Amino acid sequence: MVEYNTKDIYKAIDAAELVSFDIFDTLLIRPFARPTDLFWYMEKFFDISGFAKERIEQEHLCRIELHEKEEITFERIYDRIPKYRELADCELGTELKLSLPNAELLKIYLYAQEKNKRIVLISDMYLPEPTICQMLKKNGYNNYDKLYLSCTVGLTKSTGNLYQYMLEDQKILAGSVVHIGDNYESDFLMPRQLGMKSCYYPKLIDRYFNQNSQMEILLNEHIGDISFSAVVMQLAKRFAQGYTSYWERFGYEYGGPVIWAYMKWLEERLTTEHNDITDIFFVARDGYLLKKAFEKITVNHDISTHYVYAPRLLFLICGLKEDKTPEDWAILMNYYRDELNLDRGTVLTDNIIESKKELLEKFCKREKDNYQKYLKTLIKTTEPHIAVVDTATEAYSSQRLLDAVLNRRTQGFWWIKLHKARVNFPNYLADSFSTVEWHDIKNWDLMELIMTAPELPIVTVRNNTPVYKEADDRDKKRIEIFSSLAPSALKFVDDILSNPATDLLKLDSSNLADWINSFLENPSREDVDAFRSVYHAYDPGHSLYRNVIPLWYNDELKMQYPVRLGKLEKIKTCLSLLKNDRATLKHRVKSVYAGKPRLLVAMGNLYRFLRSIKNAVLMSRKGCSQMLIMLKSYLPASSRSFHGRMNNLDGQLAEIQRWFVEERQVNEEKRQIFEKNGRDLEKLQLRLGEISDTQLKLTQQISELYLQIVQLLSGIQSKSAQQISEIHSEIQTKLEQQILELSPSLERSQKSLDRMESALSTINYEQLIRGMQWCMSTATLHRESFLQYKNKYAGKTVVLCGAAHSLNYYDPIEGAVHVALNRAFLYDKVNFDYIFVQDFEGIAHVTEELKQYKGNNCVKFFGTQNGWNGKEIPVTYAEQCRAIRFNTDLFGINNNLTHSELAYDIATYPLGNFFSIAFPALQFVLYTNPAKVYLVGNDFAPTGYFTNLNSTREQIEHEDDDKIKYWSHDYIWGFWIKFYDFAKAYYPDTEFISVNPVALKGLFRDEYTECYLKDHPETVHNSKENH
């Protein structure tokens, strides 16, 4: 591309006698990335459905029908749409209202005036001259010598005739003139052909897209969305000014749109539905930047805004969580450890917790009173109507905390109310920006980086002052980033509010999800490098950290959710270009390859060759354009798109085969996985070749027909009207005859092609490749994790301990191998040999204990959940625990690639998941080939854990409605039946014994301990029958 440099423009102006400026996209810009979005703005502003499409189409048809003149007129466009005639003046007014100066070119324009240069403005434009004069004056362009418009003169720059007219009118030599404009062909090349000097000034939007093609793809996916278009144009304007750092740019391009859109929605809700609100509490830390953005958007609103601290620990301290679990009490004990005179190494047993509960409750009441005083200092009105603003929620904890302490109902505003919040609190006073129940943004940690504050995590509030967590280098890094990100994000808010179309601009949550997900899925190398050292604390205690975007750095996640750096972006860019019309495509290609003249010439020759037949047919516009239209009407749609569809399918197959070759090279051992699929694809490609041969013959026949038409038309301009009519009839007869001959072949080929496409459509190629990659990575991982344990405990006894109530009645079997599930390792009567965990939520409150657990040289196995948000065990934590990793088939990548549900060869296949760690652990146990397996504490009923004997079914169901389905007997019993059948088929010699069973009663041999029978006399009769 021709290098753009303002210094060259200034030098050219110094050397010139007369300076000529293009107007639109040079001196003047619109607030939208696409010029036609002005019509969508009008449709929305004047509430006239259908106007935009009609207006765009009729202008396009006007240009096709150009005859005597080179440029269309504004009046001619509206003559074609009489039902919208009254909008003609509205369009002129809208153009004037929305026009903006290009700050960079205004500076250059004023420089030319300072140098006393003669200045003319020249433009290919259909708008009336008086309107353009008003637009120029409004935006600071005054005292020019003359204005030359194509619609006034009837000549255009693109032909060079308008430049010739200007040179003659100004009585000046071409070499004394420099022209500055944005169109490479008509503003740069054409003036030079005439002997003028010229400076190419690329459009702001093109310069931006050349550096960020993904944004162009996004824009093309939101046709008619003026808000999306305005935001992209705003980013292009800012990009032209340059950034001082990566985080300044990230803050403007992603932070700005996020906080502006969310707060714009909030302002709309307050205006339309909740206009009685007097005070808004923006909850720390997410609310820090939101508050600042809201104050900019609602500068004229009479609402008091407050930045309020409501940490999760206070929710627990203030007693808002009923029936506290031992883990909750342990958190409180740790918080007040110094006041309770407890050493840091003290193990918090049930007895210690029970002995300190009275003191703890006293401390909590004191903390609640202090917090209440803090909140009251913020409110100035006697009868406030309070709103609470936060981001994502599962339980409305911050809002419920404020409701309880203030003793009043508040109105909540949240970015997203997740499924648990909607189910457990269906009638809570809270509006949601997002309409979905699950995160449609693929990494919420990134949103927390954007919507945060320049302060450390908050523990509590004392004396109206926040108490912060001890500083960590990773938190300091986030604060450092925020110092660049936040001002830039707020600058975006200022800039978008100054947009003349701002009243109609708003992005909904789905727009923002597309915006953020596009960034996550298509990172540049600069993005990956910048985020490499950015971490986020993901646990309630802010002690465990992971990378903000683990998908970019975690090899396991990359294998499951591949991120394509560069390649996909380039492919999508090419595809996006194909959506453009001919003029736009030519401009984009020329602007991109302007700096590579040989390549540009080669591409131009190829393009002209492909269009040569059409150009020949169009020699006589009046007669031959109709002939071409007639020809297209005779040809079925299938034949017109046939060649492109064939190439597309052929390209898909070639790309898939290339992937297969790469995968064979990566892991020769798994070659058999590909062979069947490869053979099927080769068969499909052979069939495609047969169809392609047929299509080639048809194409040759059609080409011969075109040549006959060209020959007949070659002398058409010298023929009389009668002769032309005879030729027309002859061509029509030949066309009809040829089409009749071709139709059966075309129909047969079309049917074959349809069958081909139908066969290919049944294959999800991306999922196929992902599945293969995942199977290969699983085999490699499991070979290291499990192969050493094959038949290790042949003839021995293994005890599998779950964490249910009945574990309390188990006395260890001497000499047995003991395996713990989740928090069962806390059972202090057993030194466990193995621990199996796969759900991070299940161990969230015992992470430190699990990390420190030694047992009997205990080996810890941590399973994957295939990226299930909140449940996936972070890689960093697994490394701290020195755990061995394994994959499960949760959500099954592809049934024909993964082993069916339960795995026999666990050193090769993923372990069957069934939403319970018991089943992966059992598959491991069977792999060791023991003689006996005792099942202890595997009640699979919601009766609480062995560490919490007082829990009831109702309490647990209240905590999480999602458990009801899982813990229903029929649902999970079906999984155990499958396991029973599996074990009986593959390990018939292994005996299973259920110890003190509850829901598993009767499936295996049942045994009851004396202490259990003593406490559960109702089971005595059943136990005797079993014995």
Whether pLDDT at 944 is above 90 = no
Structure tokens at 457: 């995590």
Between 1014 and 735, residue with greater pLDDT = 1014
In this prediction, residues 376-402 reach a mean pLDDT of 87
Between 224 and 693, residue with greater pLDDT = 224
Give 754's pLDDT tier (boundaries 50, 70, 90): low
Tens digit of each residue's pLDDT (9 = 90 or more) over 19-41: 999 999 999 999 999 999 999 99
Between 916 and 541, residue with greater pLDDT = 916
Q: How distant, in Å, are the alpha carbons of 309, 479, 768, 939, 1019 from that of 1025?
A: 61, 67, 52, 20, 10
What is the model's pLDDT at position 969? 54
Between 755 and 985, residue with greater pLDDT = 985
Burial 249-259 (b: 16+ CB within 10 A, else e): bbbbbbbbbbb
Cα 75 to Cα 386: distance, rounded to the nearest angstrom: 55
Poorest-pLDDT segment among 352-361, 379-388, 596-605, 978-987: 596-605
Whether pLDDT at 443 is above 90 = no
- The domain 795-887+917-1026 having CATH identifier 3.90.1480: the answer here is yes
What is the model's pLDDT at position 561? 47
**CB count, 10 Å around CB of 825?**
27
* 112-121, 296-305, 689-698 — most confident range: 112-121
Beta strands in 538-604 (DSSP E): 545-547
In this prediction, residues 723-746 reach a mean pLDDT of 63
- Say if pTM beats, i.e. exceeds, 0.75: no
Residues in contact with 196: Cβ distance below 8 Å, sequence separation at least 6, in sequence order: 20, 163, 167, 174, 175, 177, 178, 179
Cα 372 to Cα 868: distance, rounded to the nearest angstrom: 38
Cα 569 to Cα 566: distance, rounded to the nearest angstrom: 5
pLDDT above 90 covers what percent of the chain? 39
Residue 119 amino acid letter: I
What is the model's pLDDT at position 702? 57
Tens digit of each residue's pLDDT (9 = 90 or more) over 357-372: 888 888 888 888 888 8
If we measure between CA atoms, which residue out of 890, 918, 933, 891 comes closest to residue 999?
918
What is the model's pLDDT at position 957? 39
What is the model's pLDDT at position 842? 79
User: Mean pLDDT in the chain?
Assistant: 79
By DSSP bridging, strand 118-123 and strand 18-21 are: parallel
Q: Where are the alpha helices (DSSP H) in 763-825?
A: 765-786
What is the model's pLDDT at position 951? 38
Q: How distant, in Å, are the alpha carbons of 111, 663, 853, 923 from that of 831?
A: 83, 44, 10, 21
Between 916 and 834, residue with greater pLDDT = 834
**CB count, 10 Å around CB of 202?**
20
In this prediction, residues 1001-1005 reach a mean pLDDT of 89
In this prediction, residues 476-492 reach a mean pLDDT of 95
Cα 907 to Cα 778: distance, rounded to the nearest angstrom: 9
Poorest-pLDDT segment among 304-313, 529-538, 731-740, 786-795: 731-740
Cα 723 to Cα 725: distance, rounded to the nearest angstrom: 5
Q: Is residue 581 within a helix (H) or strand (E), and if so which, with residue range?
A: none
Whether pLDDT at 642 is above 80 = no
Give 695's pLDDT tier (boundaries 50, 70, 90): low
User: Tokens 């062909």 label which residue?
Assistant: 185
481 close to 244: Cβ distance less than 8 angstroms: no
Tens digit of each residue's pLDDT (9 = 90 or more) over 91-144: 999 999 999 999 999 999 999 999 999 999 999 998 999 999 999 999 999 999
In this prediction, residues 796-821 reach a mean pLDDT of 93
Give 173's pLDDT tier (boundaries 50, 70, 90): very high
Residue 316 amino acid letter: L
Cα 571 to Cα 648: distance, rounded to the nearest angstrom: 13
What is the model's pLDDT at position 218? 86
What is the model's pLDDT at position 637? 41
Residues in contact with 475: Cβ distance below 8 Å, sequence separation at least 6, in sequence order: 456, 457, 469, 537
What is the model's pLDDT at position 509? 92
If we measure between CA atoms, which residue out of 813, 799, 583, 494 comes closest to residue 35?
583
281 close to 399: Cβ distance less than 8 angstroms: no
625 close to 67: Cβ distance less than 8 angstroms: no
pLDDT above 70 covers what percent of the chain? 70
DSSP per-residue codes, 643-707: HHHHHHHHHHHHHHHHHHHHHHHH-GGGHHHHHHHHHHHHHHHHHHHHHHHHHHHHHHHHHHHHH
* 339-343, 467-471, 592-596, 837-841 — most confident range: 837-841
In the chain, where the domains are located = 6-202, 242-559, 611-763, 795-887+917-1026
Tens digit of each residue's pLDDT (9 = 90 or more) over 699-709: 565 556 655 55
338 close to 357: Cβ distance less than 8 angstroms: no
In this prediction, residues 614-622 reach a mean pLDDT of 38
Sign of CA dihedral 665, 669, 670, 675: positive
3-state helix, strand, coil in the chain (%, to 5): 55, 10, 30
What is the model's pLDDT at position 585? 58
Is the preceding omega at residue 85 within 30 degrees of 0, hence cis?
no
DSSP per-residue codes, 842-879: GGTTSHHHHHH--TTT-EEEEE--TT-TTTSPPHHHHH
Give 752's pLDDT tier (boundaries 50, 70, 90): low
267 close to 275: Cβ distance less than 8 angstroms: no
Class of 6-202 in CATH: alpha beta
Give 613's pLDDT tier (boundaries 50, 70, 90): very low
Whether pLDDT at 570 is above 70 = no
Between 287 and 865, residue with greater pLDDT = 287
